[in-house]
């Protein structure tokens, strides 16, 4: 059977009358759509959409940029902080933090690459949770044979299996941001869970990951799927007070993810490219496209992968109020493309509002981190030699 991932653009209806047979999701006679009507911008409160399927979100604000520079004093930074804090509070409030005897028990974990998005979530979560609650930071790194082989030719030190994982980009940024969180929030016990995955283990789970990915089946989906699959399992090494490492499995059943930040605030390289080539209108079109396809492109796939382990993932950046605020705000209030790069602090224009907020909250190393795709940070991309593209379909033969 040919399965399709439905869009998040309304309610799909299938005719289940006796004798009806659905041949294809593209068959307009058998699959109907009740479309979601997006509120136009500027928002007209007098608009009567009663009786229609109304989207909770407005259309993206594409107004031309203002001359104002996005900086630490911009009101938008405080506005976003208020919305994000509320979003994280809501997503943590239903998670038990004590056992039946009232003793604090850690049940909080974050999918943690050490990048801007997840570190900002961790920093705000610290403000929300009681200080005695520990927070697990799940950081995954893979043994990539292709990378190891190339590195061994130039540096024999990489033959050490430990350094294979410690040299992964996401492990380096993960430990850096972990140390920064410890300094900024010393009253919190942060637990850095180093999840090291040998290539043999990756390969042994390949068929399971491919099944969970369906109907997604590209090389990029597989690379991302591997990273989310093993990270959400939550099994790795933690350092003891004596400096030794012990095996540990997080007890958390709910994970926090930074998904949505790049789509809403212009974090991908293609956003910078769109601005360079077509200016503000090109950037606006790219942002609109990313938000519209996030359900089909990311959410279904990620949920199938993570729920395999009996875990639930929650997305603070995709809270309805956060999304609504981000869509209504002028693009120049969210990212700094085309603005003066000499402003202090000097931060990358991508997701600049998040970088400014992170700077205000003290995680300034994370505020300066460049965007890096999970498959490259964890080194799950191109594990075998050859010229495979991310859009190439996964071969069944392996």
pLDDT of residue 51: 42
Average pLDDT value over all residues in the chain: 86
Q: Is residue 203 part of a domain?
A: yes
For residues 230 and 168, is the Cβ–Cβ distance under 8 A? no
Burial class (CB in 10 A: 0-12, 13-18, 19+), 73: exposed
Range of the domain at 187: 61-377
Q: Domain check: are 227 and 351 in the same one?
A: yes
Task: Please tell me the predicted confidence (pLDDT) of residue 49.
Answer: 46
d(CA 110, CA 280) in angstroms, rounded, equals 34
Give me the pLDDT at residue 361, please. Answer: 97
Q: Is residue 392 part of a domain?
A: no
253 neighbors 97 (Cβ within 8 angstroms)? no
In whole angstroms, what is the distance from residue 306 CA to residue 393 CA?
Answer: 22
User: Quick one: average pLDDT of 231-252?
Assistant: 92
Claim to verify: residue 52 and residue 154 sit in the same structural domain: no
pLDDT band at 388 (very low <50, low <70, confident <90, very high): low
For the entire predicted model, the pTM comes to 0.88
252 and 161: one domain?
yes
Last residue of a domain, one of 56, 71, 90: 56
Task: Give the C-alpha distances (Å, rounded to integers) separating 55 from 52, 213, 315, 331.
Answer: 9, 27, 19, 21
Residues 216, 348, single domain; the answer is: yes
Please give the tally of structural domains in the chain.
2
The reply to whether 162 falls in a domain is yes
For residues 69 and 47, state if they share a domain. Answer: no
Answer yes or no: is 1 within a domain: no
**398 part of a folded domain:** no
Determine the pLDDT at residue 290. 94
- Mean pLDDT across the stretch 33-43? 64
Token pair of 36, please? 């979601």
On whether the CB atoms of residues 324 and 56 are closer than 8 A, the answer is yes
Confidence of residue 94 (pLDDT cuts 50, 70, 90): confident
Give the residue, 383 or 331, on which the prediction is more confident: 331
Q: Does the residue 191 lie in any domain?
A: yes
More confident residue, 119 or 68: 119
pLDDT band at 124 (very low <50, low <70, confident <90, very high): very high
In this structure, the answer to whether residues 181 and 330 fall within a common structural domain is: yes
69 and 50 in a common domain: no
**Per-residue pLDDT band at 158 (split at 50, 70, 90):** very low
Same domain, 45 and 157: no
- High-pLDDT (> 70) share of the chain, %: 83
CATH of the domain at 321: 3.40.50.620
pLDDT at 103: 67
**Band of the pLDDT at 33, cuts 50, 70, 90?**
confident
User: pLDDT, tens digit, for every residue of 321-376?
Assistant: 999 999 999 999 999 998 876 677 889 999 999 999 999 999 999 999 988 888 88
**DSSP code of residue 298:** I
Whether residue 382 lies inside any domain: the answer is no
**Cβ–Cβ under 8 Å, residues 263 and 288:** no
Same domain, 21 and 109: no
Strand partners, 239: 245
Q: What is the pLDDT of residue 53?
A: 62
Q: Express each pLDDT in 246-303 by its tens digit.
A: 999 999 999 999 999 999 999 999 999 999 999 999 999 999 999 989 988 899 999 9
The confidence score (pLDDT) of residue 69 equals 84
Answer yes or no: do 152 and 187 share one domain.
Answer: yes
What value does the mean pLDDT take over residues 206-217? 92
Tell me, yes or no, whether 33 and 108 share the same domain. Answer: no
Q: Give CA–CA dist 52/33, Å, rounded.
A: 12
User: Would you say residue 394 lies in a domain?
Assistant: no
């Amino acid at each position: 059977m040919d399965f399709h991932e439905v869009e998040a653009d309304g309610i799909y209806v299938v005719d289940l009358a006796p004798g009806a047979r659905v041949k294809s999701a593209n068959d307009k006679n058998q699959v109907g759509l009740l479309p979601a009507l997006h509120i136009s911008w500027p928002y007209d409160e007098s608009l009567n959409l009663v009786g229609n399927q109304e989207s909770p979100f407005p259309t993206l604000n594409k107004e031309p940029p203002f001359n104002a520079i996005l900086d630490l004093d911009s009101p938008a930074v405080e506005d976003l902080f208020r919305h994000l804090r509320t979003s994280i509070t809501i997503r943590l409030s239903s998670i038990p933090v004590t056992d039946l005897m009232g003793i604090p028990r850690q049940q909080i974990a974050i999918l943690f690459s050490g990048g801007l998005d997840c570190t900002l979530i961790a920093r705000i979560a610290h403000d929300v949770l009681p200080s005695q609650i520990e927070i697990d930071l799940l950081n995954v790194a893979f043994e990539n044979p292709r990378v190891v082989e190339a590195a061994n030719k130039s540096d024999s030190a990489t033959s050490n299996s430990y350094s294979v994982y410690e040299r992964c980009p996401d492990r380096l940024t993960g430990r850096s941001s972990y140390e920064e969180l410890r300094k900024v929030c010393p009253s919190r016990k942060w637990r850095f869970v180093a999840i090291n995955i040998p290539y043999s283990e990756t390969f042994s789970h390949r068929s399971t990951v491919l099944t969970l990915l369906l109907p997604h089946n590209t090389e990029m989906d597989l690379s991302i799927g591997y990273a989310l699959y093993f990270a959400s399992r939550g099994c790795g090494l933690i350092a003891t007070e004596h400096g030794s490492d012990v095996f540990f499995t997080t007890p958390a059943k709910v994970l926090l993810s930074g998904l949505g930040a790049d789509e809403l605030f212009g974090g991908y390289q293609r956003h910078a490219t769109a601005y360079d080539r077509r200016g503000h209108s090109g950037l606006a079109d790219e942002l609109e496209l990313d938000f519209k396809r996030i359900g089909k492109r990311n959410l279904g796939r990620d949920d199938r992968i993570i729920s395999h382990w009996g875990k639930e993932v929650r997305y603070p950046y995709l809270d309805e109020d956060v999304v609504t605020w981000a869509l209504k705000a002028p693009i120049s209030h969210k990212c700094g493309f085309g603005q003066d790069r000499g402003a202090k602090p000097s931060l990358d224009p991508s997701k600049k509002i998040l970088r400014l907020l992170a700077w205000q909250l003290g995680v300034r190393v994370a505020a300066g981190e460049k965007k890096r795709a999970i498959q490259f940070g964890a080194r799950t991309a191109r594990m075998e030699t050859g010229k495979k593209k991310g859009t190439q379909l996964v071969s069944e033969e392996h």
